[in-house]
Amino acid sequence: MEASVAIDGSKFKAVNTRDKNFTKGKVERRRQRLEESVSRYLAQLDTADLQEPSETLAAKTAHLKEKFTKLKKSCDLSLRA
């Protein structure tokens, strides 16, 4: 059995900066910060859901409901014909 080994002479510069160097502790701290960030974001969404809608949003909602009602009536009439 023969084995072949080839070396092409490539050289790679090692990079060990703080941004690219990870330890278990760093990964765990980063994971925890991300979880806290997601929790804050979800809490903000819940708060926004509880707030009264703005006048602009209420107007858009009313317009869409009216449009939907007209469309529904139109479909009902075309199905009867």
Q: pLDDT of 26-69, one tens digit each? A: 999 999 999 999 999 999 998 988 887 778 888 898 999 999 88
On whether residue 7 sits in a domain, the answer given is no
The Cα 50–Cα 18 span in angstroms is 42
In a domain, 1, yes or no: no
Domain boundaries, position 33: 20-50
Helices (H) and strands (E) in the chain, counts: 2, 0
Mean per-residue pLDDT for 15-33?
Answer: 88
Give the residue from 34, 33, 10, 30 showing the smallest Cα distance to 22: 30
Predicted TM-score of the model (pTM)? 0.45
Domain count of the fold of the chain: 2
Q: Which two tokens stand for residue 77?
A: 């009439």
> Distance between CA atoms of 22 and 43, rounded to whole angstroms?
30
18 confidence band (pLDDT: 50, 70, 90): confident
Same domain, 43 and 57: no
Residue 13 lies in a domain: no
Residue at 6 is within a domain: no
pLDDT of 76 reads 72
Residue 72 lies in a domain: yes
